[in-house]
Amino acid sequence: MLVSLAWLGPSILAAIDALAQQRIWGQPLNVLGALFTSIDWFLYALLTPGVFVLARRWPIARPHLASRVFLHVAFSIVFSAAWAGAGTILKMLLQPNSMQQGVGKFAVSWFFTTLPFGCAVYLAMVGVEHAIRYFTEARERDLQLARLSEQLTSARLAALKAQLNPHFLFNSLNTITVLMREGDTVSATLVMEQLSDVLRLTLSRTQENEVTLEEELDLVRQYLAVERARFPDRLRPEFVIAPDTVYAAVPSFGVQHLMENALRHGIAKRSDAGRITVSSRRDGDMLEITVKDDGPGTTASAAQLPGHGLANTRERLRTLYGERASLEVIPAAGAGTIARLRIPFHEVPLAGPPDANA
């Protein structure tokens, strides 16, 4: 451990100081005495790993701040006793003739003499351990935020690619062309506006990892509006959204990916009309979002295939919410597929009203 090795510097300097003092005051050189002077720092090095273990096991943090401080003060006294005991043993080994007053008296005397400094060293080591741990955790949080930003960028690009792929654009533009040839300029204009809304909502998303469910559903509705223009008799979307979930935080593009998956692997494979139902509800401290289609259905193993595009969504869920979040894709009763997303419930803070004095 680097902190233990750091004690080597003071130990060497202590030995040099002892030898220098002997020479300055005309005393005969006593190498063993000088070595014993530096032994204290070696003892610190040996005891430091144990201090770090205690600090990691019982960190000084809320909500146990007061009790942990008291606990480590008690540990510091034990540390001083261990230091004095180990020093007494080394004194007996290096200078056995110096124990004329008795080993017990020497140990007790050393304990009380070094108690203030020993406690200070122990508590300083606890502070060093906490500082190292906080620095490591802060660096890990920075790395996690960097991964989240990269994943969000990838998700945005994936959503944009899905919406701007040549097949999607060709079909959308072809729908507009057909409507124009048929003289239905009103419908053609509507489709162009809906396509513009899809692009605007996609490109206007910021680097935020979460948006409100309401914002996410706006993107989903605009995307479905363009798809419904292509085959209005085949796609029947339905939204069953609980009022208390409208401002709940959801992963950006998360529900939209589930909708794309249901459309591509469910409704698109039907020759007749199909229905996609998006529902949300609050279950205690969890938010549950369900996307159900009545397509040909799938199996749990098939839903894990890369073509279903769910791997990135699951990875983002793990990064954002840890093990509390889940995404399962299961066959629906009768026919179709259900994608059920569960994440911890919390709301996105609403922006305050603009300052009238601004």
Q: Which pLDDT tens digit goes with each residue over 294-321?
A: 877 765 545 554 444 677 788 888 888 8
The maximal CA–CA distance of the chain, rounded, in angstroms, is: 115
Return the pLDDT at 94: 63
Model confidence at 139: pLDDT above 50: yes
Q: Where does the pLDDT of residue 82 fall: very low under 50, low under 70, confident under 90, or very high at 90 and above? A: confident
Out of 65-79, 92-106, 176-190, pick the least confident: 92-106
| 274, β-bridge pairs | 235
| pLDDT tens digits for range 343-353 | 999 987 765 44
CA 226 centroid distance within chain: 36
Instruction: Decide if pLDDT at 247 tops 60.
Output: yes
Q: What is the mean pLDDT of residues 154-162?
A: 60
Distance CA 97, CA 53 (A): 37
The domain limits of the chain are 2-142, 232-348
Residue 2 has a pLDDT of 64
- Written as six digits, the tokens of 247 are 């401002």
Rounded to the nearest angstrom, the gap between the alpha carbon of residue 162 and the centroid of all alpha carbons in its chain is 28
Task: Tell me the C-alpha distance between 244 and 346, whole Å.
Answer: 11
CA distance 250 to 13: 59
% of the chain surpassing 70 pLDDT = 77
pLDDT of 277: 93
Angle at which helices 103-164 and 185-203 pack, to 10 degrees?
Answer: 160
For residue 125, pLDDT over 80 is answered with yes
- The whole-model pTM stands at 0.52
User: Per CATH, which fold does 232-348 belong to?
Assistant: Heat Shock Protein 90 (3.30.565)
Cα–Cα–Cα angle for 74, 79, 80, nearest 5°? 100
Look at residue 265 and tell me whether its pLDDT is greater than 50: yes
Residue found under tokens 């914002």: 215
pLDDT at 245 > cutoff 50: yes
**Cis preceding-peptide flag for 63 (omega within 30 of 0):** yes
Task: Identify which of 117-126, 206-215, 256-265, 276-285 has the greatest average pLDDT.
Answer: 276-285
DSSP string, 175-239: HHHHHHHTT-HHHHHHHHHHHHHHHHHHHT--S-SEEEHHHHHHHHHHHHHHHHHH-TTTEEEEE
Confidence band for 99, pLDDT divided at 50, 70 and 90: low
AA identity, residue 21:
Q
pLDDT at site 30: 74
- pLDDT value, residue 285: 93
Q: How far is CA 351 from CA 18, 64, 81, 304, 355, in A?
A: 67, 35, 58, 38, 11
User: Mean per-residue pLDDT for 103-116?
Assistant: 73
Tens of pLDDT, residues 45-80: 788 888 889 998 999 888 888 899 999 999 999 888
pLDDT of res. 310: 77
Range in 82-86, 290-294, 302-306 with the lowest mean pLDDT: 302-306
Angle at 265 between CA 343 and CA 161, to 5 degrees: 75
Mean pLDDT of 176-194: 87
